Structure 1
Amino acid sequence: MSSEYRDFLELSYAELEELNLAGKEQRKARVPAEEIQAARLHDLTEGPYASQIKAVTVVFSDLEGRLHMLDYDKKFLVKSYDNLTFDGSSIRGFTAQRESDLRLGLDWSAFYWTPADVFGAGKVLVFGEVIDKNGEHYSGDLRGVLKSYAKEQFEKNGYTLNAANEIEGFLFEGIDAERSFHETGTFEYVNKGGYYHSLPGDPLREFIDTVSEVQRAMGFENEKDHPEVAPSQFEINYTYGDVVAAADQIQLYKLICRQVATQMGMTASFLPKPVTGVNGSGMHTNVSITKEGKNLMYDAAGEEKISKLGWEFVDRILTHGNDICLLLNASVNAYRRLDPHFEAPNQIKASATDRGSMVRIPIGNEKSSRVEVRSVGPDANPYMVLYSVFKTGLDGETAQIDNLRQASRYLPDNIYTAIEDFRKADWATKLLGEDVKARYADLKQASADRCPRLLGTIVKSSEVQFHHDVYNQLLWNIF
């Protein structure tokens, strides 16, 4: 169709970066929600770009972390943003059919100006919050749970919860390589160079460069990017942020990677171990806590320059390592990654150097001191990961481990053990409540039951087809 009569918003990447960084600063400064809402509604109705905005993409995540997207006509949304309803029973893991009505509230602080060549011309994006029929945050929306917990910690203790995630993925030949895996039985690399190695013009480098440009435009504040250890593997790092913004950026990171890869005729995969025999993909989760600008994880005189609060945080994470493993490693495929032959972080211990440890203490100073939880898979629900890490680290049980540096326990090597540990864990009930805990466990059980019980040495079609990230609703319905 001809586009000569259209006049939809298409801003340069430099303009987008400026707008998104300004919004990010408002969020970091905790500008009152009503002020940010008024500013964003002004952008949509009277701002300099208002006439060129045609639609608002609202995104939210389900219990397993799948990102759902729906576009609202801008004029409709401006009039109806306080009553955006949807059928929760159609979202796997959300409400039953008899109580299906849910609403989307808009978190105007999580508003993004988007590149037209990736998201479509004339569109902006905002994160939604799932509201139940009583007007309360829906318990199955872990973004809302995380946001409430972060707010409680700030108001009660003055804590700002910070996170930075190192998200690895693979780039494979062909569009929808995961969904066609049952036909091909293999993933084809686009690059075999390995760690830090790619030519300037090869497909992996072009993919990384393009994703990095989009991230910068959306205010990510990039740090470094490079090919990873395994063939066709990548990692694109960006700066830390407050915990909810950090989780939002994980969802955007994966969305951007998938969209850019598709536009290039390839697939960006966040399966933890899509190819056996090479390193899998992780989502190393770096966390810290600040109060009035001071990093509470740092102590110049402390062991590894980590404070007493920091070591107590580590103790609690390790104490509950098996209780929360299913939240950090959420798929059948994730347990292929917990293989000690490939730097697998499956030892329930802490170390400054041993990358087989569940928790690592990176070298740091007063600004950068942090705790790194290495056992997280890139397919886990980021809101659930960050909520469980922070709440466990701050509120969990302590003093259950004599030596934090000695591996006397290991994480499960299969999802069935992880499900069993999770179901019987009192701490998991305290984290999520009985209802959400049971629903999540049932979802993981359903995925596992569709796959071979033993992992074996090759990736099976079913563990890809019934993976929650790959998710094919038609397959689930006809299984």
Structure 2
Amino acid sequence: MSELRDYLELSYSELEDLNLQAKEQRRKRVAADVIQEERLKYLTDERRIKAVTVLFSDLEGRLHMLDYDKKFLVKSYDNLTFDGSSIRGFTAQRESDLRLGIDWSAFYWAPADVFGPGKVLVFGEVIDKNGGTYSADIRGVLKEFSNEMFSTQGYTLNAANEIEGFLFEGIDAERKFHDTGVFEYVNKGGYYHSLPGDPLREFIDTSAEVQRAMGFENEKDHPEVAPSQFEINYTYGEVVAAADQIQLYKLICRQIATQMGMTASFLPKPVVGVNGSGMHTNVSITKNGKNLFWDPKGEEKVSRMAWQFTDRILTHGNDLCLLLNASVNAYRRLDPHFEAPNQIKASAVDRGSMIRIPIGNEKSARVEVRSVGPDANPYLVLYSIFKSGLHGDTSKIKNLRQAERYLPDNIYTAIEHFRGADWTTKLLGADVKGRYADLKQASADRCPRLLGTIVKAPEVQFHHDVYNQLLWNIF
């Protein structure tokens, strides 16, 4: 039967070539209408494609996917409506009609053995009734900000994220946690140690192969400090592409794990007593190809601009904490006993500091924000870091970079800081800020304020990454 279905299935090397070409167009900012024309022609001519998967993210960063028949999409790409009232954090029911635009530059060819044959992926943009960027579509907000910085200042905003996760036994281990009360490791090796062919190494290898095929330009991958923990690193990119890749990274890892009968979890601290998972976020700004954060004569060999950027983030550390640590469970990770960055400080060496200034050179000089959880909305993370670093306030606190200040140890305190900060209103607008805080409050109110030493079922059940629609509707 399968030979009757002549759907597109490309080798991994062919996929990599196509995805790297598309990535280069995006990096060079080829005009949107040129890329649109090229992609539409490709979809029309390539008869073996049956469907286009359009991806977009809700306010909390949960990835949503819609499959459009290829022929329908080619004819109707400029009028793709959907019901926004069913997406948490989007519109109220009375104003539920939203449209999806297509960001043709964010186009990916995906391996048929993972995503199915005859499919390609593209990121969508949520458009409001007036034809502009929808305020709760933070990807669109980030893209607007990035374009504004490029057009007015000549700045290219760059990011690279180190995303850690755990691999657990069984499919849907998170959704079943309220029954089992435990996550089972697939591997009890250690940092950098996993025998070839064991489940963790096989998972890492397979995920890395898919990422490579999708143009990620991998750098290194390895088991992390905790048992069954992994990290698969790839190169930096322009800020919107970097955020897109975080969403794809998590999607790929979850899909590969499911195919292996396991679960890839991005809960920040699913198991107490071992290191949690972070998403260390490395950022820099270039102009005309020059890294503006590099200064061989500067303190720690970074520029005055990089230090000013750092000082503004430190100033707003508590304001932004709920955006960077977006779940009840994330506050378990901010524990100083496990290299966790709970101090609102900047340091070249102290891994307990919110911001680290890594050793770098002209190409790699950067600022590393370490307090980010892997479950946070990547578009919100990068938007809040860059906008705060460039346009935020600078506190008059004495010795700001080493002052005794700490991030919240529970989500309730983080919500209070977030709601009370003028800066978060400037960042998101009062409406979106209120929606986001209300979503976090709803999750928090289902969980104990004092976390204790045991991971509680509600902090997993009502976690935005796991998100069980049926469960939420009961409340």
Q: Secondary structure at the match of 1:224?
A: strand
Deviations 1:97-140 (A, max 9, x none): 00000000000000001100010000000000000111111000
Equivalent residue number for residue 296 of structure 2:
300
Q: Is the 8 A contact 2:84 2:96 kept in 1?
A: yes
Work out which of the residue numbers 132, 137, 141 in structure 2 matches 1:145. Answer: 141
Aligned match of 1:33: 32
CA distance in 2, matches of 1:428, 1:346: 20
Assess if the C-alpha contact under 8 Å between 2:314 and 2:401 holds in 1: no
Of residues 354, 357, 362, the one that matches 1:361 is 357
Quote the residue 2:221 is aligned against.
225
* Counterparts of 2:151 and 2:3, CA distance in 1: 52
Q: Within 2, Cα distance between the matches of 1:240 and 1:52?
A: 33
Conservation of the 8 A alpha-carbon contact between 1:221 and 1:238 = yes
Which residue of 2 is the match for residue 21 of structure 1? 20
Deviation at 1:399, TM superposition (A): 4.1
> Among residues 94, 99, 119, which one is paired with 1:98 in the alignment?
94
> 2:251: which partner in 1?
255
AA matched with 2:127: I
Check whether the contact 1:315–1:401 (CA below 8 A) recurs between aligned residues: no
Q: Which amino acid aligns with 1:461?
A: A
SS of 2:280's equivalent in the other structure is strand
Q: In the TM superposition, what are the counterparts of 1:453-464 in structure 2 within 5 Å?
A: 453-464=449-460
Correspondences of 1:1-400 after superposition (within 5 Å): 2-46=1-45, 50-400=46-396
The SS at the match of 1:204 is helix
TM-score by length of 1: 0.99
Q: Quick one: which amino acid aligns to residue 366 of structure 1?
A: E
- The one-letter amino acid of 2:363's match is K
Provide the secondary structure at the position in 1 that maps to 2:267: coil
Question: Percent of aligned positions with the same letter in both sequences?
Answer: 84
- 1:195 counterpart letter in structure 2: Y
In 2, are the aligned partners of 1:147 and 1:244 still within 8 Å (CA)?
A: yes
Aligned counterparts of 2:29 and 2:397: Cα–Cα separation in 1: 38
What SS is found at the alignment partner of 1:421?
Answer: helix
Report the alpha carbon displacement of residue 452 of structure 1 after superposing the two structures with TM: 1.5
Aligned residues: 475
> Aligned-pair distance for 1:404?
3.9
CA deviation profile, 1:382-437 (whole Å, cap 9, x unmatched): 00000000000000001433224424110000000000000000000000000000
What SS does structure 2 have at the residue aligned with 1:322?
Answer: helix
User: How many angstroms does 1:12 deviate by?
Assistant: 0.1
Runs of 4+ in 1 over 6 A off after TM superposition: none
Where does residue 448 of structure 1 map in the other structure?
444
For 1:28, give the aligned amino acid: R
SS of residue paired to 2:319: coil
Segments of structure 2 that go 5 or more residues without pairing to the other structure are none
Structure 1 Cα separation of the partners of residues 108 and 100 of structure 2 = 17
Partner Cα distance (2:237, 2:400) in 1: 28
CA–CA distance in structure 2, aligned partners of residues 332 and 158 of structure 1: 39
Q: What is the distance in 2 between the residues matched to 1:23 and 1:280?
A: 35
The separation in 2 between residues aligned to 1:93 and 1:28, in whole angstroms, is 31
SS of the residue corresponding to residue 171 of structure 1 reads strand
Offset of residue 283 of structure 1? 0.2
Which blocks of at least 5 consecutive residues in structure 1 are unaligned? Answer: none
Distance in 1 (CA, whole Å) between partners of 2:158 and 2:399 is: 27
